[in-house]
Structure 1
Amino acid sequence: MNERIQRLRKELTEQKPYVDGERCKIFTESMKTTDGLPIIIRRAKSFYEVLDKMTVWVKPGELIVGNMAKNAKSSPVFPEYSAQWILEELDGKPYRWEDRPGDKFYILPEDEKIVRECAEYWNGKTLYDYVRKNLPKEVNDAWDAGVTDETWVCAAGLGNEIVDYKMVVEKGLEDVLTRIQEKKDSIDILDPDALKQLHFLEAAKLGNEAVLNYSNRLADKCEEEAGKTDDPEYKKELMELAEICRYVPFHPARTFQEAVQSIFMVLLAVHMESNGHAISLGRFDQYVYPLYKKDIEEGRITKEKALEIIECFFIKCNELNKLRSWPDTEFFMGYQMFINLAICGQTVEGKDATNDISRMCIQACRELKLITPSVSVKCFDGTTDEVLMDALEATIEHKGGMPAFYNDKAFIKILREMGVAEEDLVDWCPDGCIEASIPGKWDFAAKGPWLSIEKVLEITLNNGKDPATGTVFRKPDKDIVASSSMEDIFEEYKKTLKYFLDLNCLTEHINDEVHVRYDLNAFRSSLVQDCIGRCLDLVEGGALYSADGGPTAGTISAGDALTGIEYLVFDKKILTMEQLLHACATNFEDESTTPTGKEIQMIMKNKVPKFGNDDDYADKWVVAIEEYVGHSLNHDYKSSKYGKGPVPCCFAYSQTPVTGNISFGSRIGATPDGRSAGEPVNNGVSPANGSERNGATAACNSVAKIPTIYDQKGNIFNMRLAPSTIANQESRQKILDMMRALFDKDAEQIQFNVVDNEVLKEAQKRPEDFPDLMVRVSGYSALFTSLGVACQNDVINRTEVEM
């Protein structure tokens, strides 16, 4: 890092995250004046007002500019999505923001007054309120019991989008505005849909104009700051930034710096419009490379300067932040915005797409050691070992599992099966954590209620009743104790799974309808094909591609639990079904039984085979669950957009639980995999903590058995590497060879944590001494000390594996 980058990074890491009341005040005041107009027009007008009136600032030394709050790392507030939690948490229920055990935020008295007033205005008429009021009792019961949860997309806005940055860079927003006008001119005013279409187009026009106006305001600010400085070099820099902001994103970018500034402006605006998260960047190295190459050839830029611009861009991405409710924060611990940036992969011709920008993004990871953007290396047969080794060594230095590695072949196969056009396949990108999207053509790469897979098993084993709440969800066809085989139990489990999958599909249909009524966002829609052509918002079916499906948690743990039942009850006959269920019901604490509860738990933990050891006896139950859930989602359920234009409009499997494995685990009692009540379930498709006994290759072989064809929403594989596995070049090459073998079997992804446990434990004791310690939490990286203790322990308890 040069001096500029060191200083900007230091300022970033020392900045506390605040809650900023400015956006919610401007937005609320605007919405009060537009009552009666179509919601898409109201939100577009409010978006314009926010970008027109909010504070803009330029920090000394920045090469990329723009802000979403009065301070870096501060979060705007979006009370129209949910408000009751804001009032409760301001009153300390369960925590005030500055007192949280993780993801703390601070707030100044003047902002607290504004935020409280806005939350009081919106309370009772938010998107979240309307969703919960419209859900049937069965769904709300499942939500309250911790079986399912839809908070992330109704209380916190829709996300997981990749808009068409390539188009913005190559054509500018002037092209968007031209297409909007051409579409307006073609509409027959007597068409019954004409008025609705014109409302969409007018809102899209206003949204694009809002962004251009904001960019000009930044230019004004740069000129204002230039007038205050006596430093000729800084003055020149500011005047160049002013010129850039006046030119892009309206016009096509002429230079590499203009391209990157244009991208950040759009990224920032989409977040500000829609309370977004996981607004990702697509194949960044591919669409900025032509301008970089042109600048290099014409002597306008050096490689060192290009790296400096990229690192400034990465720092700006880390300034974006999002305040979530505490219950929602428990699913997304670590101040993450889930801005994924893809590099490498292949061209349409099947050649290696790695270029200088790819390598600079890897270098920026290595040098900056920041939590975002999540750099993702797309790997295929033509990706060289040299590039992969560079990325692996950057991961080791970063320590937070970044870059992560993704399998081109597996995702292309999945998307081809779903009906994605052949010419679009190589451009797939991970969005958010790992969800597969086609940039500029897909709506929401992940969207839908969570489902706690092992909680569903617990309910099944209790004859359809949740032991924590007493709610009976479905009565079994056969009492579970009377089961004469594992097939009987699995059949009941599948029926219970179907019951909750049905509820989740219904929930998402209702959620979509509420979003159509109250949450249309025309700017982001105008940057995705073919919303302008169809005159439809993304939530109405404007995109070319769409598929629903929310995250799941605990599939591997549930498979281990089924293995425990088979081994202990039916094969070895160590326990009766009554004994096993009693041990779980008493959390393995009944010492009066023979064997005792604790002895039963030790047998479950240490004697029963577990997923992650390349043992078909255990792995087959994970595969069976995966096959049932994945096939059901792909084939039995249709999204609300089905038949309205997008394809395929099915549901898809997501095993990207972020930190939901901890939150959901806290709502599950003891289970036959040996888990105590309240402990986390496994993360993603990673083996459950402590269960890997046969090394890294065996763990990979188990994961490779998972049928990924259903998993467009992705499955996360975390691996903790023991120090010996990264000690030298030879051992690192073995890791790459293992990864290639894993990807040959259609596994989707792998990411590595390389921090020694003793370091993590010391950081728990003395967090002030480890301010920059990074870890890979799930499909993202986070500062270890920003996490709550439960999340820290989950990382610590993951098995360190050796080759």
Structure 2
Amino acid sequence: MTVHTVNETKNVEKETPAEYFGTLTPRMKRLRESILDAKPTVDAERAVLATEAYKAHQDEQVDLLRAYTVEHILNNMTIYIEPDTLIAGNQARGNRWAPIFPEYSMNWVIDELDKFDKRPGDVFQISEETKKQLREIAPFWKNNTLEDRGYASFPPEARIFYDLGLVGADGNITSGDGHIIVNYDEVINKGLVWFENRVLDKLNSLDLTNVEDMKKSYFYRASLKVIRAVKNFAERYAKLAEKQAFETDDADRKQELLTMAKILHKVPYQPASTFREALQSIWLVHLTLQIESNGHSVSLGRLDQYLDPFYERDLKKGVIDEKKAVELLTNFDMKVYTINKLRSWHHTEFSAGMPLYQNITIAGQTPDGKDGVNPTTYNILHAIAQVHFPQPNLTVRYYHGLSDKFMLEVVRVIKLGMGMPALNNDEVIIPSFIKRGVKKEDAYNYSASGCVETAVPGKWGYRCTGMSFINFPRTLLIVMNGGKDPDTGKQLLHDYGKFTEMTSFDQLMKAWDKSIREMTRWSVIIENACDLALEQNYPDILCSTLTDDCIGRGKTIKEGGAVYDMVSGLQVGIANMADSLATIKKLVFEEKKLTPKQLWHALQTNWEGDEGQRIRNMILEDVPKYGNDIDYVDDLIVEAYKPYIDEIKKYPNTRYGRGPIGGIRYAGTSSISANVGQGHETLATPDGRYARTALAEGVSPEHGMDTEGPTAVFKSISKLPTMDITGGVLLNQKMSPQILRSTENCMKLIAMLRAFFNTLHGYHVQYNIVNRTTLIDAQKHPEAHRDLIVRVAGYSAFFVTLSKETQDDIIARTEEKL
């Protein structure tokens, strides 16, 4: 294959992306346009089928009830094969249509039926017929959904923290878990038949007089049912392909459809033999996981490692070439983007842009520590470049041995302005995993699972991050108000003293230490309630079957079936917290330019009046800001984060001691777009931020506050206890496209990245390569920018689908210079 070297690309600024990466084949251009034209639409078909299954099998044990439901949906849902596709499989009745999952939640669906097409962002079309269907099935689900059971399981004293948004967990009680990668390597190399035979062996060896074995028998019987349902699902597509082949007069298309049918008669039930078979197998399994449960961040793992042996074998046999492989990969990528998810508006604020976080991970090291870059790694990069969609999410695993040649290839894709690929650092993540008990060969095989969170494919349970959200700045305001929420007046935490009566910064930090530990405990209580509701009522049978070692243990993932099970919540507003503490320490207690009462009054009045503005200007101009490599402020967030990190270690998850290695919790900062939603719930903060406006996202500095360039940002972030924040350290940076026009500047960025990862031990970084002028024009003329992509947080989205508030948040981010 053609791999360009640094020496061959001195005039990179003179090349167009099409000249370098190639363009979509005519058929893939047509498919892309059809998907781009597809309007997100609410689809009731799955909801109706799920309701039928639940009514028919209410008496079944829960594992079997779930299996019957999947079987009924796969046997009866509408299927189609697009005219230009080479890969078959659809989630709903149309591309980008979003099915409803009534078993998880129906209350908000009914409440928002007439609002889906009127939203300020993430708009979904919905027909009157669909509304009628959903209203007809709604009574069956009253008090009978995950959301209902989740709310009922919250201890009353914990519910207030959820209701007030102090601990956000919407996604945990309105949908499945997701945040997982199943064992695709074994799926394509051994086929579902191998899993089926394992299950049969286990089932036949049980002693049903033993109650534990009887419990296992339900899971095994359910596993057999879903495996056979997936096999039949593939057969349905095979027959449809044969039917279309019989009906077409196009000889070339006839042969393609017959080949497709032959593949679908074989995979994913049997092992794949070719590159195309492997892709079709992965896609159909991935798709079924999205039909089984609507948990997002269901990711694809290390595709370059799984697929390259098939590609290189086909290449040697002459049955494929690079161009055909890239075409198949572009087809695969577009199919991934057809999957969609409808969320409540409140949840949407945390996940703006309709993201599914379906992550593909490439490069990094192999399990034996060698360079994992291979021909398929390059092909995947080229396919992503050609498709230019916000999904699938793409992550590059960085390690010190990656060549400049490959790094330049990565930067070339970053230059395209898709916010991809993100980069995760082997030099931090692998040691962090090993420290927590992950076997070395598994740690070296990790993959991104959603945004920046990481796990071992096929061996890790749900929710390696995203268990719940804690709003650090709002918690600080509660601490300053003696444990009482200043927004609602409700006493939430113990009173460790009011800020207006404090005489030292140390008093505040001691109050913060005790209070954030309290908040952490409440978050754990809420997370455990969500987990128990899911475990007891909504096991994902296919997902568990394909995750080691659920079959060996006879347990679903939520019961402790996975080899590893470690989770994290997400802490929001890191930069605001740092800058707020710097304000209080410097202006109130050191320089005494403000009294505690003056600052508190300014906060409560949202900086109103001349005095309020004078105080705010003083804060913005005289106080050092996080993101500029200033120890004074950077050290404060490290100090504030420490009690949370210490406290969360004390609380194992609900699978602890039930089989998995770990069973622990740790920190994470992948706040997705929660910085906007949680900002709505937060009054003015001591960093000068106005009430109800967005918080800073991830660990990125507050907009406009990082004035010393990207290197200073890297240095500030490197002071965080990254090895303890195993749930992900998310950093977004924005640059103008003009900066990366020359190869010289591309190489400067590579050098800077190497310094960040090798020397400063950074965890993650991703780039928005778009200028402010383009974004503002896209707000005014969305029809002219329908495929403009931006990085929102740990994922990308089409800019024009976002609400204006989220768009404004992205526009306001600092534009870095090299």
TM-score interval for Structure 1 and Structure 2 normalised by the shorter chain: over 0.9
Query: Which region of structure 1 is more displaced relative to structure 2, 104-113 or 680-689?
Result: 104-113
Residue 263 (structure 2) pairs with residue 244 (structure 1): yes
Residue 318 (structure 2) pairs with residue 299 (structure 1): yes
Q: Give yes or no for contact 2:189–2:271 (8 Å, CA) kept in 1.
A: yes
Runs of 4+ in 1 over 6 A off after TM superposition: none
| SS of 2:99 mapped into structure 1 | coil
**In structure 1, C-alpha distance between the alignment counterparts of 2:734 and 2:220, rounded to whole Å:** 50
Q: Cα distance, 1:519 vs. partner?
A: 0.4
For these two proteins, the number of residue pairs brought into alignment is 793
Match of 2:308 in 1: 289
**In structure 1, C-alpha distance between the alignment counterparts of 2:571 and 2:121, rounded to whole Å:** 23
Match of 2:787 in 1: 772
Match of 1:520 in 2: 539
Q: Cα distance, 1:724 vs. partner?
A: 5.2
Residue 331 (structure 2) pairs with residue 316 (structure 1): no
Question: Which aligned pairs between 1:528-677 and structure 2 lie closer than 5 A?
Answer: 528-591=547-610, 596-633=611-648, 635-677=649-691
Identity of counterpart residues, as a percentage?
35
Q: Give yes or no for contact 2:494–2:515 (8 Å, CA) kept in 1.
A: no
Q: Deviations over 1:564-585 (max 9, x none)?
A: 1011111221101111111101
**In structure 2, C-alpha distance between the alignment counterparts of 1:575 and 1:446, rounded to whole Å:** 40
**In structure 2, C-alpha distance between the alignment counterparts of 1:34 and 1:508, rounded to whole Å:** 29
Residue 799 (structure 2) pairs with residue 784 (structure 1): yes
Amino acid at match of 1:273: E
Q: Give yes or no for contact 1:588–1:598 (8 Å, CA) kept in 2.
A: yes
Match of 1:801 in 2: 816
**In structure 2, C-alpha distance between the alignment counterparts of 1:728 and 1:309, rounded to whole Å:** 31
Q: Cα distance, 1:604 vs. partner?
A: 1.3
Residue 453 (structure 2) pairs with residue 419 (structure 1): no
| SS of 2:730 mapped into structure 1 | coil
**In structure 1, C-alpha distance between the alignment counterparts of 2:378 and 2:736, rounded to whole Å:** 26
Amino acid at match of 1:694: E
Structure 2 unmatched ranges of 5 or more: 1-23
Amino acid at match of 2:621: N
| SS of 2:693 mapped into structure 1 | coil
TM-score, structure 2 length as denominator? 0.96
| SS of 2:41 mapped into structure 1 | coil
Q: Give yes or no for contact 1:361–1:375 (8 Å, CA) kept in 2.
A: no
Amino acid at match of 1:461: M
Q: Give yes or no for contact 2:207–2:214 (8 Å, CA) kept in 1.
A: no
Amino acid at match of 1:50: I
Amino acid at match of 2:798: L
Match of 1:8 in 2: 31
**In structure 2, C-alpha distance between the alignment counterparts of 1:480 and 1:136, rounded to whole Å:** 30
Which residue, out of 155, 169, 178, partners 1:159? 178
Match of 1:207 in 2: 226
Match of 2:116 in 1: 97
**In structure 2, C-alpha distance between the alignment counterparts of 1:425 and 1:329, rounded to whole Å:** 33
Amino acid at match of 2:702: A
Q: Deviations over 1:565-608 (max 9, x none)?
A: 011111221101111111101100043xxxx1011111112221
**In structure 2, C-alpha distance between the alignment counterparts of 1:787 and 1:5, rounded to whole Å:** 26
| SS of 1:546 mapped into structure 2 | strand
Which residue, out of 330, 348, 351, partners 1:329? 348
Match of 2:766 in 1: 751
Q: Cα distance, 1:757 vs. partner?
A: 0.1
RMSD of the TM alignment (CA)? 1.1
Q: Give yes or no for contact 2:512–2:640 (8 Å, CA) kept in 1.
A: no
**In structure 2, C-alpha distance between the alignment counterparts of 1:414 and 1:712, rounded to whole Å:** 7
**In structure 2, C-alpha distance between the alignment counterparts of 1:475 and 1:339, rounded to whole Å:** 41
Question: Which aligned pairs between 1:280-429 and structure 2 lie closer than 5 A?
Answer: 280-397=299-416, 399-429=417-447
Query: Which region of structure 1 is more displaced relative to structure 2, 532-541 or 730-739?
Result: 730-739
Question: Which aligned pairs between 1:437-516 and structure 2 lie closer than 5 A?
Answer: 437-444=455-462, 445-516=464-535
**In structure 1, C-alpha distance between the alignment counterparts of 2:738 and 2:294, rounded to whole Å:** 43
Q: Give yes or no for contact 1:259–1:288 (8 Å, CA) kept in 2.
A: yes
Q: Deviations over 1:96-145 (max 9, x none)?
A: 11111111111222222112222332132211111112212332211222
Query: Which region of structure 1 is more displaced relative to structure 2, 537-546 or 622-631?
Result: 622-631
Q: Cα distance, 1:303 vs. partner?
A: 0.6
**In structure 1, C-alpha distance between the alignment counterparts of 2:562 and 2:737, rounded to whole Å:** 46
Q: Give yes or no for contact 1:555–1:625 (8 Å, CA) kept in 2.
A: no
Match of 1:76 in 2: 99
Q: Give yes or no for contact 2:570–2:670 (8 Å, CA) kept in 1.
A: yes
Q: Give yes or no for contact 2:480–2:498 (8 Å, CA) kept in 1.
A: no
| SS of 1:548 mapped into structure 2 | strand
Q: Deviations over 1:370-421 (max 9, x none)?
A: 0111111101011111111111111111x12111111011110111111101
**In structure 2, C-alpha distance between the alignment counterparts of 1:460 and 1:665, rounded to whole Å:** 17
Q: Cα distance, 1:447 vs. partner?
A: 4.4
Amino acid at match of 1:641: R
Question: Which aligned pairs between 1:704-723 and structure 2 lie closer than 5 A?
Answer: 704-723=718-737
TM-score, structure 1 length as denominator? 0.97
Q: Cα distance, 1:522 vs. partner?
A: 1.2
**In structure 1, C-alpha distance between the alignment counterparts of 2:514 and 2:592, rounded to whole Å:** 26
**In structure 2, C-alpha distance between the alignment counterparts of 1:252 and 1:267, rounded to whole Å:** 16
Question: Which aligned pairs between 1:92-171 and structure 2 lie closer than 5 A?
Answer: 92=114, 96-171=115-190
Q: Deviations over 1:418-464 (max 9, x none)?
A: 11011111110110001110000001122422111111111111111
Amino acid at match of 1:9: R
Q: Deviations over 1:292-331 (max 9, x none)?
A: 0000001010110000000000000000000111111111
**In structure 2, C-alpha distance between the alignment counterparts of 1:51 and 1:587, rounded to whole Å:** 54
**In structure 1, C-alpha distance between the alignment counterparts of 2:815 and 2:785, rounded to whole Å:** 21
Q: Give yes or no for contact 1:404–1:752 (8 Å, CA) kept in 2.
A: yes
Q: Give yes or no for contact 2:517–2:643 (8 Å, CA) kept in 1.
A: no
Structure 1 unmatched ranges of 5 or more: none
Q: Give yes or no for contact 1:86–1:119 (8 Å, CA) kept in 2.
A: no
Residue 28 (structure 2) pairs with residue 24 (structure 1): no
Q: Give yes or no for contact 2:50–2:102 (8 Å, CA) kept in 1.
A: no
| SS of 1:636 mapped into structure 2 | coil
Query: Which region of structure 1 is more displaced relative to structure 2, 548-557 or 665-674?
Result: 548-557
Q: Cα distance, 1:749 vs. partner?
A: 0.6
Which residue, out of 691, 698, 701, partners 2:705? 691
Q: Deviations over 1:37-70 (max 9, x none)?
A: 1111111001100000001100112111100111
Q: Deviations over 1:211-257 (max 9, x none)?
A: 11101001011011111101110000000000001100011100000
**In structure 1, C-alpha distance between the alignment counterparts of 2:36 and 2:571, rounded to whole Å:** 33
Q: Cα distance, 1:159 vs. partner?
A: 0.7
Q: Give yes or no for contact 2:368–2:444 (8 Å, CA) kept in 1.
A: no
Query: Which region of structure 1 is more displaced relative to structure 2, 790-799 or 491-500?
Result: 491-500
Which residue, out of 742, 766, 773, partners 2:756? 742
Residue 286 (structure 2) pairs with residue 263 (structure 1): no
Q: Cα distance, 1:475 vs. partner?
A: 2.9
Query: Which region of structure 1 is more displaced relative to structure 2, 161-170 or 451-460?
Result: 451-460
Q: Cα distance, 1:514 vs. partner?
A: 1.0
Q: Give yes or no for contact 1:720–1:752 (8 Å, CA) kept in 2.
A: yes
Amino acid at match of 1:457: L
Amino acid at match of 2:449: D
**In structure 2, C-alpha distance between the alignment counterparts of 1:58 and 1:311, rounded to whole Å:** 16
**In structure 2, C-alpha distance between the alignment counterparts of 1:442 and 1:625, rounded to whole Å:** 30
Q: Deviations over 1:538-562 (max 9, x none)?
A: 1111001011222221122111101
